[in-house]
A and B are shown apart, each in its own frame.
Chain A
Amino acid sequence: MRAISYARATDVAEAIAFVGADSRAEFIAGGTNVIDLMKDDVARPSTLVDITRLPLGGITPSATSIRIGALARMSEVADHPAIQANFPAVVQALNESASPQLRNMATIGGNVMQRTRCAYFRDTSQPCNKRAPGAGCAAIGGVNRMHSVIGTSPHCICAHASDLAVALLMADATIRTRGRNGERIIPIAEFYLLPGNTPQRETVLERGELIEAIEIPVSTAARRSVYLKVRDRRQYEFALVSVAAGLDIQGGTIRAARVVLGGVAPKPWRAAEVETQLIGKPANVQTFAAAAAYASAGMRGFGENDFKVPLVGRAVARALALAKDLA
């Protein structure tokens, strides 16, 4: 690992000003992602600004939403009774991420900022447009079993790594930030960028802009929600395909539906047409199967990940059935 300087922030404005003014400074909180990438020489900050002493933690429920401080640890959020009561998909997404030790370290703000697990991004001997713009993409035509089947560009086919972000998009969460231009409230649907011609840009955050909290609105659909993660191992593995699904069922009829996919795109991917197909229909397996057939529209594989395209529809149908069976 290259040498770094370290600064422990005692004030939010101080941390934002410092990182905002120094293009080689980065925030650090849980550290599980940035330290790993520094060891691989992928992340090369000159100064790390430790934000863990800032007052950005805590979980605060209100009548209409729950605010999660950016520094809340993944385990803390998953264990919180109000999160468990209102957002079961969020709890499942958290508990099926990483390992217990890492969930005790990693923060919610850091989780939504985590970098892709593409092996070429993490190997500095390989070309990667995200790490070194213009170098090329070794995953196209390479080992791409874990990669995306939609939302890709000729420059990058990586998959987004966060399980939590999939569940947060399902629940229509917003991300509250503070930067040198003040505060912003960003719907998570508008937070992530597709690779396009600039795969090095992954979110709309500006330099020095800090996530302060994530707010999740309470809803009937999110209360009846599940997170289904399909992967090569039962634990401690990233998703091949995942589905966050929430249903609002009144008298056997679907009033609202939320379906978001993970593991298939460079950002959490809303299956909007599936949602549309579910509205007003009876909540049964025939409805779920018919709607799920729309989930893979527009998807195509890159060889090793071709299996994801037929897998998506089956995972959606199963997730919807699991959501229906919730009390």
Chain B
Amino acid sequence: MFGKFSRRRFLVRAAIPTVAATFGTARLLPAAAAATVSRPNVRGPHPIAVTLDVNGTSHTLMLEPRVTLLDALRDRLSLFGTKKGCDQGTCGACTVLVDGTRIDSCLSLAIMNEDKAITTVEGLASGETLHPVQQAFLDHDGFQCGYCTPGQICSTIGLLNEKRPTDEASVRTWMSGNICRCGAYPNIVAAVRSAAGAAS
């Protein structure tokens, strides 16, 4: 899907051909200073070797720099547990753990996550033994269709790592980055609180 020109993108592009990038200000400064400092190593835009540590395994992929961590996980590593919901950081279905911290993988470039430990829902269980948070979601029926569940589970582990309060109101607040289209929130909250008890 990368590098191809969709019809929609073509139309968008054709309609507004001369829009300038609007980040920052445009005042030009003398270029002399640039010669006195080093220049960073520029990679891309073509595919380049990117090494990712996912669930304890190192993978070297040929990726364009624009590829998000979410798309690298799903399209290149076939780790389909991490879901693409909104793809704009508003639903939390793509939540993964990076160095133990929960993030939205749709708004992070894969190449920015080199040298970090990435954990997806596939990396949580030990053999046939589920992670305690996975087990809690099963025990409390913390889902309906299941699409948001990998993100909910990774977010719960992040919440526990952050040592957030786990009364009901606090769980609802600190899990607010994960939307459940089915509205299974009461059981999700029960699963999170149960896992918190098990973890403490």
- Write the residues of chain A forming the contact surface with B, with a CB cutoff of 8 angstroms: 1-11, 13-15, 17-21, 23-24, 26, 28, 31-32, 34-36, 38-39, 41-45, 47-50, 52, 75, 79, 98-102, 104-105, 124-125, 130-132, 179-181, 200-201, 203, 205-209, 234-236
Is there an interface contact between A31 and B159, defined as CB atoms closer than 8 Å? no
- In the complex where A36-B88, A100-B102 touch, is A4 in contact with B66 (Cβ < 8 A)? yes
Q: How far is the CA of A32 from the CA of B177 in the complex (A)?
A: 14
Partner of B39, one of A14, A20, A45: A14
Closest A residue to B3 by CB, please name it. A3
Question: B165-178: contact bitstring with A at CB < 8 Å (1 yes, 0 no)?
Answer: 00000001111111
Surface stretch bound by A, among B27-35, B117-125, B132-140, B184-192: B27-35
Q: Hey, which chain A residues are within 8 Å of B39, CB to CB? A: 14, 17-18
Q: How far is the CA of A179 from the CA of B30 in the complex (A)?
A: 12
Surface stretch bound by A, among B74-82, B106-114, B141-149: B106-114
Is there an interface contact between B37 and A14, defined as CB atoms closer than 8 Å? yes
Closest A residue to B22 by CB, please name it. A200
Is there an interface contact between B173 and A13, defined as CB atoms closer than 8 Å? no
Q: How far is the CA of A200 from the CA of B104 in the complex (A)?
A: 29
Shortest B87–chain A CB gap in Å is 7
In the assembled complex, B41 has its CB within 8 A of some CB on chain A: yes
Q: How far is the CA of A10 from the CA of B28 in the complex (A)?
A: 24
Partner of A101, one of B41, B172, B177: B177
Is there an interface contact between B177 and A35, defined as CB atoms closer than 8 Å? no
19 CB < 8 A contacts A-B: A3-B65, A4-B65, A5-B43, A18-B34, A26-B21, A49-B40, A50-B111, A99-B176, A99-B177, A100-B155, A100-B175, A101-B92, A102-B89, A104-B102, A104-B158, A124-B15, A131-B19, A181-B29, A203-B25
How many Cβ-Cβ contacts under 8 Å join chain A to chain B?
Answer: 181
Partner of A125, one of B3, B15, B104, B172: B15
- Write the residues of chain B forming the contact surface with A, with a CB cutoff of 8 angstroms: 3, 9, 12-13, 15-16, 19, 21-31, 33-34, 36-45, 64-66, 68, 87-90, 92, 95, 101-104, 107-109, 111-112, 155, 158-159, 162, 172-178
Q: Hey, which chain A residues are within 8 Å of B112, CB to CB? A: 28, 31, 50, 52
Q: Hey, which chain B residues are within 8 Å of A102, CB to CB? A: 89, 104, 107, 177
Question: Top 5 closest A-B pairs, CB basis?
Answer: A99-B177, A6-B65, A235-B176, A3-B45, A7-B40
Is there an interface contact between B24 and A13, defined as CB atoms closer than 8 Å? no
Is there an interface contact between B40 and A180, defined as CB atoms closer than 8 Å? no
Is there an interface contact between B41 and A7, defined as CB atoms closer than 8 Å? yes
Q: How far is the CA of A15 from the CA of B12 in the complex (A)?
A: 31
Q: How far is the CA of A6 from the CA of B50 in the complex (A)?
A: 12
Closest A residue to B23 by CB, please name it. A26
- The main secondary structure of chain A at its interface with chain B is loop
Q: How far is the CA of A280 from the CA of B191 in the complex (A)?
A: 52
Q: Hey, which chain B residues are within 8 Å of A19, CB to CB? A: 24
Shortest A48–chain B CB gap in Å is 7
- In the complex where A35-B108, A99-B176, A208-B29 touch, is A20 in contact with B22 (Cβ < 8 A)? no
Closest B residue to A42 by CB, please name it. B22
Q: How far is the CA of A30 from the CA of B102 in the complex (A)?
A: 13
Q: How far is the CA of A10 from the CA of B173 in the complex (A)?
A: 37
Q: Hey, which chain A residues are within 8 Å of B45, CB to CB? A: 3-5
A-B contacts besides A130-B22, A207-B29, A234-B176, 14 pairs, CB < 8 Å: A3-B64, A4-B64, A5-B43, A6-B44, A6-B109, A7-B42, A8-B41, A10-B38, A13-B37, A47-B42, A99-B177, A105-B108, A180-B29, A207-B27
Partner of B22, one of A11, A104, A131, A205: A131
Q: Hey, which chain A residues are within 8 Å of B19, CB to CB? A: 44, 124, 131-132
Is there an interface contact between B43 and A6, defined as CB atoms closer than 8 Å? yes
Q: How far is the CA of A203 from the CA of B108 in the complex (A)?
A: 25
Is there an interface contact between B107 and A6, defined as CB atoms closer than 8 Å? no
Shortest A84–chain B CB gap in Å is 14
Q: Hey, which chain A residues are within 8 Å of B108, CB to CB? A: 31, 35, 105
Q: How far is the CA of A260 from the CA of B39 in the complex (A)?
A: 42
Q: How far is the CA of A172 from the CA of B178 in the complex (A)?
A: 34
Is there an interface contact between B64 and A236, defined as CB atoms closer than 8 Å? no
Q: Hey, which chain A residues are within 8 Å of B24, CB to CB? A: 19, 26, 205-209
Q: How far is the CA of A149 from the CA of B43 in the complex (A)?
A: 45
- In the complex where A21-B34, A52-B112, A236-B177 touch, is A45 in contact with B23 (Cβ < 8 A)? yes
Q: How far is the CA of A19 from the CA of B104 in the complex (A)?
A: 27
Q: Hey, which chain A residues are within 8 Å of B104, CB to CB? A: 32, 99, 101-102, 105
Shortest A72–chain B CB gap in Å is 14
Q: Hey, which chain B residues are within 8 Å of A31, CB to CB? A: 107-109, 112
Q: How far is the CA of A20 from the CA of B90 in the complex (A)?
A: 32
Q: How far is the CA of A15 from the CA of B15 in the complex (A)?
A: 33
